[in-house]
A and B are shown apart, each in its own frame.
Chain A
Amino acid sequence: MSKVILTLKRHISAPVHLDTLTPDRVCGRKVTELANEEVWEGNRRIKIKTLFNIEGNIADKPDDIALEIIGDLSRTRSIGYKMTAGTLNIRGTGGLYIGESMSGGNIIVEGDAGSWLGSNMRGGTIEVSGKTGNFVGAASRGTTKGMMGGIITLKGNAGNEVGAWMNSGTIRILGNSEMAPGIHMTGGTIHISGDCSGRAGAQMKGGKIIISGNMQAPLPSFSFEEIREQTKNEKDSVRGPFYVFSGDNNEDGNGKLFINVERNSQLKWYEKFLEG
């Protein structure tokens, strides 16, 4: 196992694209080679060493590499792009598109992360300790397949449209979610431990959304089915009880929406549909 630590040594004032910083792309190289590699800062090509102090050594196999990037990276883009193996640890504030299109390996963000985290993700795991922006595990503009595999765990709150066009895989949000998680989703599972601002599963065709916290109301295009004591998120079971809705009927959807019973007394009236 080899560890490479990149520590940001100056303020970033323009978008910096770090899509080449993944274990698979740096493996087998000397640290000096990596240091002299060029990336975009705004419209300029700059050497990585002008941004970061680099220490450690680089193994030959991606799986053996642990990349650690430290600093305020909020103006960076695409760290972990198309990553296939190894681990990548971001300490500080992560930027946009962390782990976009990744298919393997692990990314850990110790801090906040920007929007489009894990967009088009195919496999691997991403974990964020702080809060995350919008479009987690979403699809790129115009496409209809977002996250297609892997596991994303957000320990803090998440923004809007988590899992937009999600096709498979798992997203866990331990905090709250803003509007429209699982919009257009066709498969996979989203579990929100906290509250959701609304519109969960908007235009969803398939897949499963579990809300253990509060959500004012499901969309009018969802129909109430039953109350269930518990459900599953992948293997591990999630305790309810839950109001179970199916939808989005507007898309002939057979997605499932689970909303915690105890935390949502305002939905009690749905129980009238249970009689008879």
Chain B
Amino acid sequence: MIINVLLVLMAFTVWVIIQSRNLFGVIVLGGIYSFLMATVLVAMDAVDVAMTEASVGAGISTVLLLGALYLCRSEEARPMHKPWLPFIVSVAVAGVLVYGTLGLPEFSDPQATIHHHVVPRYLNEIQQEVDVPNVVTAVLASYRGYDTLGETTVVFTAGAGVIALLRRRRKGRSS
């Protein structure tokens, strides 16, 4: 299965990211990770999400990270101490996740609850109610349009926040 191969590749990429201390390389690998993620999403039939992930994860995020790296000019230093506590925390979280997901429906199980509650209305009634073929657009902009208003506000918050943090003082600009 192509999805599994891609997933293993992603895991490998992340492994290299953990090992590497070259920040430039890590950022590029992060971009590759996002592209792999986008491909997996296409394989999982989530085309809208894939398109966004490719443009945001591999595009905007990478550009922003490279820009910030240029401004900071940094290499990662060796850690001063062994990260035992983070390791224990991570293992504990992994334990809870494994415990939890083992009870989930199997991959691509058509009997799973999520395919039988709420969603059928989106898929079956959309033609009469909204008449937009792309169900994702319809749910995004209409059924759950309020979430998207919130999402737009989040983007606006980030934009205004970056202005508040990075705008130069008037004095600095003229000199």
Decide whether A and B are members of one complex.
Answer: no
Which positions in A face B, CB cutoff 8 Å?
none
